[in-house]
Structure formats: structure tokens, C-alpha cells
Structure 1
């Protein structure tokens, strides 16, 4: 087996979802589906199912760093995705570690703030730490509409509003932006916008009705990280990630009284 090709590695730094639909669990399933080995750093334990978040228990920041050290010592990733970071202390520890790297792989930051059920997944005081300490390290920022409004202070209702917000965030943080427009009022299409200062992509897909979208944001950002780990340029990684998450929604399957994204081909 000495001549067996090596798998690319992607790292997710996020919270654990006990229901398996979002967070670390969704990220690792996405990595596996796209042919990438997934390593993980768990920031929080959540007591969660598709209907509600019943509790959140953050991991000590020192333990978050130990996990990062363990992964990078033997499994240096070709791409990193961050999700639920929860507190200023955890964000600061992650940013400090990544800032110390001599060679930092592409960093995809999904600024998880609120669960689909409405539960807060980022403490209010942590938003400033996120913008000042982690986003300067980011390659790509992937907010949904409510997160984009929180980060920019703009009201976003139409695709043109996405353009204005994308340019504002790119100017502020000097990173590419992928706005996930699934929360826009037009329910006929899921419209996303990618902007890196030069290239703009408007990504459209038919809206899939009557299925749960729990975990789609995590899956989308993880798919970008997976394609980056496989060596694709960022814009193409985003394009393929859009195709992947659209197909996963369309292939959703029932679990109990709920739906789960269809990662299986």
C-alpha cells in the first residue's frame, strides 16, 4: 500500500450537533462525500435535534487549542472551515493559533450566529472578536442573510442588496464573500452571490420545497473547504459547492418526523 494515493485533508472547527444534521457531523459527512479526509476540532457540545437546541456546553479554549495542535502535528490540512465558535474566548484562541502558522491553508469562515430553530449560537459580545481577530485571516466568509445584516448593518431584501453588502465586507476584511441568499423573500430560487474583489458570480438554483434545510449552511461552507482541499481555485470551489448542496437538498430523506440532507450518491 506504499504507493496508494494520499487523501487531501480538510479541518472543521465547529460545534457538535447531537441530532447529526448540522455542525461537525454535517461537515464530516460532506468531506467524506467529496473524497476528503475530515479532521475536527470541537468547540461546543450542543443538545440539539432538527426542531430545537436544548443546551450548549462550550469546550475550554485551552482544549480547543490542544485539538488544533494535535491535528496540525500529524494531519496538516489543505483547507480549514470554521463554524460555531460561540464565545469571544474560543474565537480568540482559534485566531491566535491560525495566526501563528507559517503557512496557512485557505480558511473558510461560516459566521454561525443563530440556529435555524432560533437559538443563539454566538454570544452577542463575540461578534466584535470575530470581525477583528478571525476575519482578517479568512480566505472566504460565508454569511446567510441574517448574519450579513448583523455584520454590515444593512437591510438585505433583494439580490442587489447582496452586492452592496458583499462589497462592504470585502472592503472591510479583504477576503472573498459568499452570501447564501436562501433567506431572501423570493422563494422561487435560491440565489447566492460570490465576490472576491474581481470576480462576481450570481449562483442560482431552483427552490426545493417541503424539505428541511437544517444544516445546509454548514454543508455549503464545508463543501467549499473540501473542494479547496482538493486543489480547486476558490471561485470554482464555490461553484461546485453550490451544485453539491443543491443536490443534497433535492435528495433529502426522512428521518423520524424530520428530513436530513441527502449526502449519498
Structure 2
């Protein structure tokens, strides 16, 4: 089996980022190659997120080692951290010579810190990078940044934002409601082929969600690599990440890591 390519940051808590991606693909017995974009640290005494970017020259060497992408079964893109690295990823994706799924999780906001990107980076993502994806998976905050629509609180508002992003030449969009969305259900919205599909699960009463977004996007990539439809892939990913949160591992106060090592898929 061809490996999947992961382009993402490293999480020193090991719940999210590249570590979560690798564990998800391993869970489905899919090998992976990894390209590192940055290192994210969360000191236990402060809980504040610090981001250390890879030097651009080194990152360019990482990408240059990949050739034309023909050796991969799919590509999952996570945190890119700065504009120059995002530009290099965009150039690389444009050179891909094979028709493979590309899933981009636009990590513009970290749930732990409210970290947000500059207007310039948001514009580049929306206009240049995200249109290269098979599907993107923003959370509510990221969807708001990409659409300049503040305070998404209803399904109708989620749909409106998804349609706006689709009009920006982004093919398929999954907006993740997460814990912030009102109600007792964790609701995700897929906008694809002018069709709205909702995915619902009851919210879990724990905080073991560090890495949930990364795991979700990687699990969608798995489904597409397996030949499933996008709807089937999102449904599989929704179930998978639910179990990963349910079986999560406590780490810091009110923050735990998802765990992909549960027995049943």
C-alpha cells in the first residue's frame, strides 16, 4: 500500500498534530510519511500555547525530497504556522501529478489558546491554498475567520458560511461544531455538491479532546483512500473521533488527549 503524506506540526503533548495523524493512519494500517512544519509546546505551569516554526530553508528541503507526489495514496495537511510555509505547501500541492485525496485542516485557531492568524494568512488560505483541497475541515472559529462571519450559533449560519466558502472555489467543506455549538449534540456540517449533510453525536462529558480535529481530518483521509464516498468518509471519521474522545487520556487540568488505540473501529 502506498503511504499517505502528512504535513503538520508536532504537539509536545502528543495528543494532536502530527502525532495524532500518525496514530490514526496506523490504526487503519496505512503507512505514512511526515513533513514537519512547526513544534507546538504547552507548558504545564501556564497552559499557554507556544509555536516554533521550522526554518523555511529546512522546510523547503523537506518538500524537495518528495518529488511529484506519485508515491502517495493521499495527503493530509494540518498546522502550517506561517505564510511562507503555507506558500511552499501550496506550490507543492500544485505539482502533484496523481489524482489523490487532499484533506486540509486549516489550523487557524487552537482550542487551547484562541490563537489566530493574520488577515494576510487567512486571505492566502481562502484564495490560494484551500481551493487545492478535496475537502477542508475548519472548526467554528476557523470558519468565522475564513468567512468574516462572527458568532456562528445555528445550522443555518453554518450552511451560509459553507456556501460562501464554496463560492470561493473550495470544493467541499466540513464545519465542525464541537463543544462550542449550542445544545447537547456535537454537530458537523458537510457541504458538498450543493447538498447539506449533518452528522450528529451526543456530546461527551469529558475534556479529552486534544487532537480531535487532527484525528477527524486524518480519518476522513483514510475513508477517501479506502475508496469511500465523502459522506461515508465523514461518517466513519465522526464515529472514530467520538470513540477516540471517549477513550481519551487525562493530561492537564480540563485537557486530555484523544486516544486512537481503542479496540473497535
Q: 1:18 aligns with which of 9, 12, 29?
A: 12
For the pair 1:165 / 2:174, whether they are aligned, the reply is: no
Q: Is the 8 A contact 1:22 1:216 kept in 2?
A: yes
Give the drift of 1:131. Answer: 1.6
1:224 paired with 2:234, answer: no
Distance in 2, matches of 1:61 and 1:191, equals: 37
Q: 1:45 aligns with which of 39, 59, 64?
A: 39
Q: TM-score scaled by structure 2? A: 0.89
**Residues 122-151 of structure 1, C-alpha deviations (whole Å, 9 max, x = no match):** 444311221222112111111111111111
TM superposition shift of 1:104: 4.4
Change (3 A) 1:256 1:126: closer
Which moves more between the two structures, 144-153 or 226-235? 226-235
More deviation, 242-251/230-239: 230-239
Q: Say which of 27, 48, 55 aligns to 1:33.
A: 27
Q: Distance in 1 between matches of 2:181 and 2:68?
A: 46
- Cα pair 1:77 1:229 within 8 Å, conserved: no
Q: Which residue of 2 aligns with 1:88?
A: 83
After alignment, is 61-70 or 242-251 more displaced? 61-70
Quote the Cα distance in structure 2 between the aligned partners of 1:30 and 1:71: 22
Report the CA distance between 1:8 and its aligned residue: 4.1
**CA–CA distance in 1 between the matches of 2:42 and 2:223?**
28
SS in 2 for 1:15: strand
Which residue in 2 is equivalent to 1:259?
A: 256
The alignment partner of 1:43 has SS state of strand
**TM-score, normalised via structure 1 length:** 0.89
* Unpaired segments ≥5 residues, structure 2: none
Total equivalences in the alignment? 259
Match of 2:188 in 1: 192
> Which residue of structure 1 lines up, in the alignment, with residue 139 of structure 2?
144
Query: Could you say which residue in structure 2 is the equivalent of 1:202?
Result: 198
Gaps of 5+ in 1: 1-6
Counterpart of 2:177?
Answer: 181
Secondary structure of 2:36's aligned partner: strand
The structural deviation recorded for 1:44 is 0.6
Does structure 1 residue 113 correspond to structure 2 residue 108?
yes
